[in-house]
Amino acid sequence: MASPFPLLRAITRTSSVTGTPMKTPHVSLRVSSSRTLSVVTAAAGSRGEARSTPHNPPRICIVGGGFGGLYTALRLDGLSWPAPTPSSTSQQRTTSSALSKANITLVDAGDRFVFKPLMYELLTGEAKRDEVAPLFADLLDGTDVNFARASVTGVTMEPDDGGIVHLDDETSIPFDYLVVALGNKPRTEMVPGARSSCLTFSSLEDVDASIEALDLARAAKATPRVAVVGGGVGGAELAAAIATRDGNAFDVTLLCRDPTGVMPTSPSQLRDHVSGVLRCLDVTVRAGASVTSVAGDGEVTLSFGGEADDETYDVVFWCAGQEPATTPVSSLVDSDNSLPVGGAGAPPLEVNPALQATAHPRVFAIGDIAQVASDGRGGGGGGFAESRTAQVAFQQSDYVAWNVWALHYGRPLLPFRYQHLGEMLALGPGEGAVAFPQLPEPLGDALGTLLDGWAAGVLRKAAYVYRQPTNGQRLRVLEAWARRPELWLPPGVSSGSARL
């Protein structure tokens, strides 16, 4: 039987290196001349192997409708699930010719998928709501994925037989396989007053609240003062978006804890360019400014080298850190048969390199909630370093979809390998910055690693049109943006002059 993913087709029957059946616990494959993938299989009877025959077609529940959850659901829906026939020699199963679709249910508390990298365009007015946050009903139309709009109140694991997801509408979803993809949320507990006195920018509701707050501040004062706390990529993009809103009507200050200024972990060429753009937009960047408290009247207490300083702003945004978004129900961690995620202070979900929960072989995790288990040799523990980005969740969805399919049919599981594709930033209407991965010399020296200005903004928009979750959404966004040529033209060039 062929693999559901063309690039992985070679691993379904034999090793592309040895040509032998894949029955060993660990096989190394040569996928291309520049990349090697390790294939992880569980030894017979180990915890990494499902111990009973699940339903067919399998019941798969995905908790969380962000990049990781939605894209996993769509990839699973695109696979064929032949009826398994038990093998006479092992738990490995052969397949019959009867094809079927998996019973997939996606659970999310909201009714819209949010393409988070485009939220800045929603704030500046470049994009419209349905282009950035389409309805799940529209995205899943034409698929076999079921959607449940609800919050999870508990997850009960059934010994050797999947489990049950409990929802706040008093319904439940039984599953053979569970994917936990809850995403992340702003980390506002670090500083007194941050949670109650600051706006965040991580959801569609945050965008609505931000627009309302900025409009109210603009109505009350000619030039409102706005502080953005956090000098990472998100803080820099938000500062640029606010600075260009309403004809540069806001006095924006970006408070960076790192003494080097904005985006300390980004490539120096990109960091220097973004700093220059912010200067051109009259954004004040205060490097080495550590926020110690925020009051309800907009008073922000800063610390510079141990010396305190108080400043007052009309609107304060908090972009300083994120943490895994978990379900707020303590019962998830109380029972021996419950899934160990969720609740204040609850631990992340410990997974192996294949993103499979070590305690529950039929549970997989994507994003911040996943913590790699120690390899027993003093290494391998901790989270995925890049797990807070949509780029990582997008890539993890491919691996999780494959691994759920592979586990169901007794095939090898693939360990997640992140491939960095660069960084893309929006720096206000018509402006952007794209940092490409470092290319080998001499190609890297000839082409460089940074594209900026109008061309970068166009490339970023085109890339995000391509990255839309479905072909239908791609066409809707492309058609809508094609009718607005100002989105693609250099600043200062009108659509009328372009037509001439």
CA dist., res. 309 & res. 292, Å (int) = 10
Average pLDDT over residues 184-211: 93
State yes or no: pLDDT of 47 exceeds 80: no
Q: With bands split at pLDDT 50, 70 and 90, how would you rate the model's confidence at 411?
A: very high
Q: Which of 146-150, 253-257, 299-303, 448-452 has the lowest mean pLDDT?
A: 448-452
Domain boundaries, the chain: 27-109+150-184+324-408, 188-320, 423-499
Only one residue has tokens 């993938």, namely 37
- The full 3-state SS of 335-404, as one line of letters, equals CCCECCCCCCCCCCEEECCCCEECCCCCEEECHHHEEECCCCCCCCCEECCCCCCHHHHHHHHHHHHHHH
Q: Which residues contact 471 (CB under 8 A, 6 or more apart)?
A: none
pLDDT at 368: 80
Say which residue, 367 or 493, is predicted with more confidence: 367
The CATH homologous superfamily of the domain defined by 188-320: FAD/NAD(P)-binding domain (3.50.50.60)
Q: With bands split at pLDDT 50, 70 and 90, how would you rate the model's confidence at 22?
A: very low
> How many percent of the chain have pLDDT more than 70?
74
**β-strands 299-304, 290-294 pairing:** antiparallel
Q: With bands split at pLDDT 50, 70 and 90, how would you rate the model's confidence at 85?
A: low
CA dist., res. 12 & res. 15, Å (int) = 8
Q: With bands split at pLDDT 50, 70 and 90, how would you rate the model's confidence at 154?
A: confident
Intrachain domains 27-109+150-184+324-408 and 188-320 with the same fold: yes
CA dist., res. 180 & res. 187, Å (int) = 20
Q: Which of 46-60, 185-199, 377-391 has the lowest mean pLDDT?
A: 377-391
pLDDT at 50: 47
**pLDDT tens digits along 435-455:** 988 765 555 544 558 999 999
pLDDT at 403: 97
**β-strands 59-63, 177-180 pairing:** parallel
Helix (H, G, I), strand (E, B) or coil at 280: helix
pTM as predicted: 0.82
Q: With bands split at pLDDT 50, 70 and 90, how would you rate the model's confidence at 338?
A: low
pLDDT at 38: 33
pLDDT at 490: 85
CA dist., res. 239 & res. 253, Å (int) = 8
Residue 497 zone, left/alpha/beta (φ > 0; ψ -120 to 50; rest): alpha
Q: Which CATH number does 27-109+150-184+324-408 carry?
A: 3.50.50.60
Q: With bands split at pLDDT 50, 70 and 90, how would you rate the model's confidence at 374?
A: low
**pLDDT tens digits along 414-438:** 999 988 888 999 999 989 999 988 7
**pLDDT tens digits along 56-82:** 789 999 999 999 999 999 999 999 898
State yes or no: pLDDT of 173 exceeds 90: yes
